[in-house]
Each structure stands twice: as C-alpha cells, then as structure tokens.
Structure 1
Amino acid sequence: MKSMEEMMKAAQEAAQTVQTQMEEVQKRLEALEVEGAAGGGLVKVKASAKGRIINVAIDDSLMVPADKTMLEDLIAAAFNDARQKADQVSQEETAKMSSGLPLPPGFKMPFT
C-alpha cells in the first residue's frame, strides 16, 4: 500500500496536470472561431469559442431606416446563434480534454 505522502504527491501531480490541460483548452477555445448568422446570412457575427465577439457583418441591403427594428432583432439572433455554437465547441473541447482523466461518474468540470 502506498504511503500517505506518496498518495498526496500523486494527487498534487494529477491536479497540476489537470490545471495545465485546462489552461491549454482555454487557450484553444479563445483561438477557435464560430460564426452565427441570421436573416439568411444578411447578418453575421463571428465569435471565439469562449464567446468573445470578434466581428459583426451587416449586409448593405439592410441599411434602411424603416427596417431598424428588424435589423436589431437580426443582430440579436446572430449573437445568440454564435453563442450557441461557441458553447457547443467549448463543451466538445472540454470533453476531449477530460475524456482521459479518471474522474468519478457525474463529475462536472467547473466551467463546462
């Protein structure tokens, strides 16, 4: 049987490994980009997989003052589409990282 000291050292090393892996995942998520769209692609929002908005593109045909409310709704829908895709990519990347970890059943990572 392992001594308490050996078990503590192994636990600390495992924790450090998990921390390092999670930092790598967070860096990858910031670099991954997704694009949400609304109105048949007339409004597009590009975001990182962590949800940081990178770009908003609005088709010139939408720039009519009478359509302001519709344009605002399309922008909100595009943001929501990008956020949903970012969440999906984030979950997939976190699942890849945690698949090799000996975590107890039902354990959730703190930011998934």
Structure 2
Amino acid sequence: MKDLNDILGMASRVQEELTKAQAGLDAIEVEGKSGGGLVTVRASAKGRIIGLSVDDSLIDVADKGVMEDLIVAAFNDARKKADEASGSEMAKLTAGLPLPPGFKLPF
C-alpha cells in the first residue's frame, strides 16, 4: 500500500492535470448550426460563445421571430457540442484513474 505522501503527491498531480485540461477546453472550438446552416454559432468546449453568423437572407423585419428562434437553436446546438467535447477531453484525462461509477471530475 502506498503511504500518505505518495497518495497526496498523486492527488496533486491529478489536480494539476485537471487544471491544464480545463484551460485547454477553451481552445477547443465547436460549431452549432440551425436552419440548414442559415445561423451558425461558434463556441469553446467551455461554453464561451466565440462568434455568430446569420445568413443575409434572414435579415428581414418580418422574419425577426424566425431568426430569433434559429439563433436560440444554434446556441443550444453549440452548447450540446461543447458539453460533448468537454466530456470527451475529461474522459481522456481520467481514463486510468480508479474512480467509482458515476464520479465526475472536476468537482
């Protein structure tokens, strides 16, 4: 069995790796689309919105409600993809750790 210093050292290294992984998530970019690509949202895997693109054909006062719905849908699509990218990156980091079922990192 490992002594307490070994366990604390390992925990410290895991914490450092988690911190690095969290910082790296902001560099991963995902793209959400709606309306067949008429509205596109770019976001980081951390959920930060990077950009928004709206096709010129949607810019009409009469279509304002439709455009707003498409923007909401694109944001939601980007958020879903950001969550998936984040989960994938964190799974790589914790792959070798003996964590109990359902235990999620970071805390």
TM category, shorter: over 0.9
Counterparts of 1:47 and 1:59 in 2: how far apart (Å)?
A: 18
Counterparts of 2:53 and 2:66 in 1: how far apart (Å)?
A: 15
**1:46 corresponding residue in structure 2:** 42
Q: Give the letter for the 1:57 counterpart.
A: S
Corresponding residue SS for 1:40: helix
Give the drift of 1:17: 1.0
Q: Give the letter for the 2:18 counterpart.
A: M
83, 96, 101: which one aligns with 2:97: 101
**1:7 corresponding residue in structure 2:** 3
Q: Does 1:20 align with 2:6?
A: no
Give the CA RMSD over aligned residues.
Answer: 1.4
Q: Give the letter for the 1:60 counterpart.
A: D
Corresponding residue SS for 1:108: coil
27, 32, 39: which one aligns with 1:36: 32
Counterparts of 2:35 and 2:44 in 1: how far apart (Å)?
A: 21
Aligned length: 107
CA displacement 1:13-71 (0-9 Å, x = unmatched): 11111111101111211000000000000000000000000000000110000000000
If the length of structure 1 is used for normalisation, what is the TM-score?
0.89
Q: Give the letter for the 2:44 counterpart.
A: S
Counterparts of 1:66 and 1:89 in 2: how far apart (Å)?
A: 36
Give the drift of 1:11: 1.6
Give ranges in structure 2 of 5+ residues lacking alignment: none
Corresponding residue SS for 2:26: helix
Q: Does 1:79 align with 2:79?
A: no
Task: Return the index of the structure with the highest Cα Rg.
Answer: 1
**1:57 corresponding residue in structure 2:** 53
Q: Give the letter for the 1:63 counterpart.
A: I
Corresponding residue SS for 2:83: helix
